[in-house]
Amino acid sequence: MNLALAADGFLALLILGLAIWTIAAHATYGAVVGFVAYGLLVALVWVRLSAVDVALTEAALGTGLTGMLLLGAAARLPREVVAPRSGRGLRLLFQMAVGVLCAGIAAGLAAIVLLLPEPTPTLAPQVAANLPTTGLGNPVTGVLLGFRAIDTLLEAVVLVLALIGLWSLAPDDAWGGRPAALRPRQPGSALVLLAQLLPPLGILVGIHLFWTGANHPGGAFQGGAVLAAMWVITLVAGLTKPPRVDQRWLRIVLVVGPALFLVIGLVGIWLAGAFLAYPEGYAKPLILVIEAALTLSIAAALGLLLAGPPEPVEPLGGQP
């Protein structure tokens, strides 16, 4: 019996069980906790598949950030939602439709994986052959910022669009106010201590993740997520206040990453012959500059997404 196979099989069973438990859980809060644990286990699976970049993203964004958003949503929902008796049949029909659709997607995915031709079509050899032209050591970063840079550019823009969508949920008189979803009620001294101890280390880790992304697993999104987490910890502990959404520097920080990416991509038309192409020999420094700006913008956007829409400006001298 292969020990590694046994461990992988146990991990797969654990994930399936936890997924079923999360769906079946009655309490919203419990379901969110189940989802977070599920995401961490999925990150372990990505590590087992040697996809450390994906594992980092899953842990930071798919689990940490999404889990925090879901926790916030669970906190705003009423504690015990008693379903009305009327319309129970309709709801059952709806749930069954959702279940059938999900099963259909799972079956479709399984069919695609099982019907893949042998050998599986892959672009990996081409990436490996062309990676030296970028000067990078991490093929994932090479694909994300070299060969398929347009996808990453659009992802970065989508984040800004998401934030605009969130901010537009604010009532008119709240415009220009501060986001208040993370306003601490009574942060205990333990939380304040954590918010003082952890950020120096976390900021270092975030910058390291961005910097090491050129040659090792890591990158702008993972680094930005860690930086955003450090900011959010200080917000939750009440050590810092979220910025007013109408401040110019905030807007600049939010768009500097995508804007710089776009400008360098446009300059590539003249200097390298194609949109988002890098001039020969300058690929790595340009990619690092883009990633640095992207890390900053992503960190700000993720933090503000967690901080929620702006709320009405407090009256002068008054505490809410």
Q: Which of 9, 108, 188, 285 binds another protein (CB under 8 A)?
A: 188
Region of residue 273 (phi > 0: left; psi between -120 and 50: alpha; otherwise: beta): left
Q: Is 77 in the site for another protein (CB under 8 A)?
A: no
Look at residues 7, 35, 285, 296 and name the one whose alpha carbon lies nearest to residue 156. Answer: 296
By CB under 8 A, residue 200 contacts another protein: no
Among 168, 190, 273, 281, binds another protein (CB under 8 A): 190
Question: Judged by CB under 8 A, which of 23, 109, 193, 263 binds another protein?
Answer: 193
- Piece of the chain touching another protein by CB under 8 A; list 6-14, 95-103, 187-195, 275-283: 187-195
DSSP of 152-214: HHHHHHHHHHHHHHHHTTS-GGGTTS-B-TT--SS--HHHHHHHHHHHHHHHHHHHHHHHHTT
Distance CA 211, CA 294 (A): 12
Residue 57, CA distances (Å) to 8, 87, 185, 229, 301 in order: 21, 40, 30, 13, 16
CA 139 to each of CA 123, 182, 214, 274: distance values in angstroms, whole numbers, following the listed order? 11, 37, 9, 21
**Near another protein by CB under 8 A: residue from 41, 45, 51, 191:** 191
Nearest to 255 by CA among 173, 170, 159, 122: 159
Place of tokens 């059938």: 100
Number of residues near another protein (by CB under 8 A): 9
Distances (CA, A) of 43 to 78, 93, 211, 212, 319: 31, 34, 21, 19, 42
Kindly state the smallest distance separating residue 242's Cβ from another protein, in Å: 21
Of 136-144, 197-205, 278-286, 295-303: span binding another protein (CB under 8 A):
197-205
Rank residues 185 and 248 by Cβ distance to another protein and give the closer one. Answer: 185
Among 14, 31, 51, 194, binds another protein (CB under 8 A): 194
Q: 43 or 294: whose CB is closer to another protein? A: 43
From 20, 75, 105, 201, residue interacting with another protein (rule: CB under 8 A): 201
Q: Which stretch binds another protein (CB under 8 A): 59-67, 190-198, 270-278, 288-296?
A: 190-198
Binding site for another protein (CB under 8 A): 188-191, 193-194, 197-198, 201
